């Protein structure tokens, strides 16, 4: 099992964030146990994070169509392109999950394909799994996102309803396992302790195999998890 620290997307996505908050987050990302995978910040702070993390190996992630998940492929694609130009390495885009639940089963694919064309690297698609109990819909959205160019499936924004849970994580992992191509899973929303992280890693090992999880295939989106991982490190 990999060190969970190396899988953390250290995150601050608050409306009252400032450049000083982001600078402090970037300093925190380089831990005594090694760097985290990425720092995830609001779009207006991408350039700040890119400058602070230059030559550290820590990637810069940001969010698009966040947190609402509107059915706006053109707008999401424009924002993705602009943020890549500003220095983002990864984009976490909220899928139009409400449109899917309302019966438009092409909505997720349309938006993901539009964003994938502008983000050839890590495009993480947020399915907001905690906001509904329809496992069939979650799997359908996961499959559509993967077919349309997602490189990661992500559980939730943490802004709507419950966050991640093991049942939803299993659906996303099983979708990745069935996908004809490399892809990953990001667990976000309520992952706060080493025990939480290890439960998800054990699930990933069960479905994907022992050597599968790495920063290229598995992430934790969290703000407080890193503190517990450092405090409980053996």
**154 is annotated as an active-site residue:** yes
Q: Single out the catalytic residue among 89, 92, 196, 228.
A: 92
User: Rounded CA gap, 113 and 206, in Å?
Assistant: 30
Hey, which bits of 159-226 come out as E strands? Answer: 184-188, 218-222
Task: Identify the active-site residue in 124, 186, 196, 228.
Answer: 186
Helix/strand/coil percentages in the chain, nearest 5: 45, 20, 40
CA-CA distance, 28 to 25, in Å (whole number)? 5
Q: Does residue 92 have an active-site annotation? A: yes
Dig out the tokens for 69 from the structure: 């998940």
186 included as an active-site residue:
yes
Task: Please give the C-alpha separations between residue 43 and each of 18, 76, 92, 94, 126, in angstroms, as whole numbers.
Answer: 12, 12, 11, 14, 16
| Catalytic residue from among 9, 72, 79, 154 | 154
Q: DSSP character for 56?
A: S
The number of C-alpha atoms within 13 Å of 33 and in the hemisphere containing its C-beta is 18
Catalytic residue positions? Answer: 92, 154, 186
């Amino acid at each position: 099992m990999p060190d969970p620290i190396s899988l953390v997307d250290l995150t601050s996505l608050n409306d009252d964030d400032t450049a000083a908050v982001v600078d402090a987050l970037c300093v925190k990302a380089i831990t005594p146990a090694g760097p985290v995978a990425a720092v995830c910040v609001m779009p207006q702070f991408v350039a700040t994070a890119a400058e602070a993390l230059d030559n550290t190996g820590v990637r810069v992630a940001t969010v698009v169509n966040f947190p609402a998940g509107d059915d706006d492929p053109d707008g999401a694609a424009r924002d993705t392109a602009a943020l890549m130009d500003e220095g983002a390495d990864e984009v976490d885009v909220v899928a139009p999950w409400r449109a899917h639940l309302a019966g438009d089963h092409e909505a997720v694919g349309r938006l993901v394909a539009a964003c994938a064309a502008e983000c050839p690297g890590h495009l993480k698609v947020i399915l907001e799994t905690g906001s509904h109990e329809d496992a069939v819909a979650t799997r359908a959205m996961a499959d559509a996102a993967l077919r349309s160019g997602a490189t990661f499936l992500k559980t939730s924004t943490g802004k709507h309803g419950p966050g991640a849970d093991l049942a939803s994580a299993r659906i996303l992992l099983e979708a990745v396992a069935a996908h004809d191509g490399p892809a990953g899973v990001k667990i976000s929303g309520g992952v706060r302790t080493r025990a939480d992280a290890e439960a998800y890693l054990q699930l990933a090992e069960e479905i994907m195999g022992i050597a599968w999880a790495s920063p290229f295939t598995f992430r934790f989106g969290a703000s407080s998890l890193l503190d517990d991982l450092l405090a409980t490190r053996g």
